[in-house]
């Protein structure tokens, strides 16, 4: 993890104030995801999660108009011949995607250009997806005789519903940003020149809120997405303990004082 901030890597992390960016940096291959890149995404999430200064994580490309064209099929051909490499690659993909979905901090995919296959898999595991007009989305294992993992399929179905997920998977078609917005695959469609500014404004707003609240809310929502339907002792404790937290004390006092709160809690290390 020591070189995760090295900008020469195919995936690197960059910190700008309260925003941490995970940058896909293989533009000559349209950010086709290699085994090493999958591993580095998970490493970058962990590094930014463990940096107190960072409050929001943004996944983006180093080059405008090229988010990710999916898996590196040249490498995949080699990996497919050896069972241990296939399994290592499966785990690396799973950990990269789950790291984004289960990061302690909010995650945003900043999408410009093709967002296909594994690239789309990364995006749908983020909490939010902002896309530039002209971006195209697809989940295309049926084009090459593969099967989308169950976790990825569930994430897609949770976002767009069963009918739309079937439409994308059974046809392997690409959808534009307009249709992606209509089906709920993305949260905002923006002019290319507005994309980064809008993402930064949204991330900055979230960074100004109680990180204790966002951390707990994200935990609670993930429990629901994982199938939990009622409180258990852990979720009850999460709710009750918040009332005694430093952020709640500051938030209530700021409201009474008619001033903007200054929240001090920060997540410093993953459990």
pLDDT in tens, 145-187: 999 999 999 999 999 999 999 999 999 999 999 999 999 999 9
Return mean pLDDT, the chain: 95
- Residue extents of the structural domains in the chain: 11-207, 211-257
Q: What residues are paired with 128 via a beta bridge?
A: 108
Task: Quote the pTM value.
Answer: 0.95
Q: Is 107 strand, coil or helix? A: strand
Query: Domain 11-207 carries which CATH code?
Result: 3.90.226.10
DSSP letter (8 states) at residue 33: B
- For residue 269, the model assigns a pLDDT of 54
Class of domain 211-257: mainly alpha
Q: Collect all residues with Cβ–Cβ distance below 8 Å to 36 and sequence separation of at least 6.
A: 10, 11
With tokens 């011949």, the residue in question is 81
Confidence at 268, pLDDT banded by 50, 70, 90: low
Q: Is the confidence at residue 270, as pLDDT, over 80?
A: no
The contacts found for 158-162 with CB under 8 angstroms, 24 or more apart, are 158/225, 159/124, 159/184, 159/185, 160/184, 160/185
pLDDT tens string 59-98? 999 999 999 999 999 999 999 899 999 999 999 999 999 9
Residue range 88-108, pLDDT digits in tens: 999 999 999 999 999 999 999
Please report, for residues 65, 133, 165, 238, the alpha-carbon distance to residue 68 in angstroms, rounded to integers and kept in the order given: 9, 16, 20, 37
Q: Going by C-beta distance under 8 Å and a sequence separation of 6 or more, which residues neighbour residue 182? A: none
Pairwise CA distance, residues 139 & 2, whole Å:
33
The DSSP H or E segment spanning 13 is strand 11-16
Q: Kindly tell me if the per-residue pLDDT of 1 is higher than 70.
A: no
130's enclosing H/E stretch is strand 128-132
Percent of the chain with pLDDT over 70: 98
């Amino acid at each position: 993890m020591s070189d995760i901030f090295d900008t020469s890597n195919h995936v690197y992390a960059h910190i700008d104030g309260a925003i941490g960016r995970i940058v896909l940096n293989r533009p000559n291959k349209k950010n086709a995801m290699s085994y090493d890149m999958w591993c580095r995404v998970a490493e970058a999430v962990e590094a930014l999660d463990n940096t107190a200064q960072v409050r929001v994580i943004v996944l983006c490309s180093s080059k405008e108009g090229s988010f990710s064209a999916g898996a590196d099929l040249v490498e995949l051909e080699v990996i497919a011949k050896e069972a241990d490499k296939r399994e290592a690659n499966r785990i690396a993909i799973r950990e990269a995607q789950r790291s984004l979905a289960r990061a302690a901090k909010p995650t945003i995919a900043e999408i410009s250009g093709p967002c296909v296959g594994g690239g789309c898999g990364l995006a749908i595991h983020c909490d939010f997806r902002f896309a530039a007009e002209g971006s195209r989305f697809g989940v295309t294992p049926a084009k090459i005789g593969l099967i989308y993992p169950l976790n990825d399929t569930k994430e897609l179905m949770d976002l767009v519903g069963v009918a739309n997920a079937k439409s994308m998977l059974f046809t392997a078609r690409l959808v534009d940003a307009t249709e992606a917005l209509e089906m709920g695959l993305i949260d905002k469609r923006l002019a290319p020149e507005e994309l980064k500014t809008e993402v930064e404004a949204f991330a900055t707003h979230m960074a100004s809120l109680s990180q204790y609240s966002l951390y707990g809310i994200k935990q609670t929502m993930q429990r629901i997405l994982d199938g939990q339907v009622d409180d258990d002792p852990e979720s009850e404790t999460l709710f009750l303990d918040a009332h005694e937290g430093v952020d709640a004390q500051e938030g209530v006092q700021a409201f009474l004082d008619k001033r903007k709160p200054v929240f001090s809690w920060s997540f410093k290390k993953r459990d």
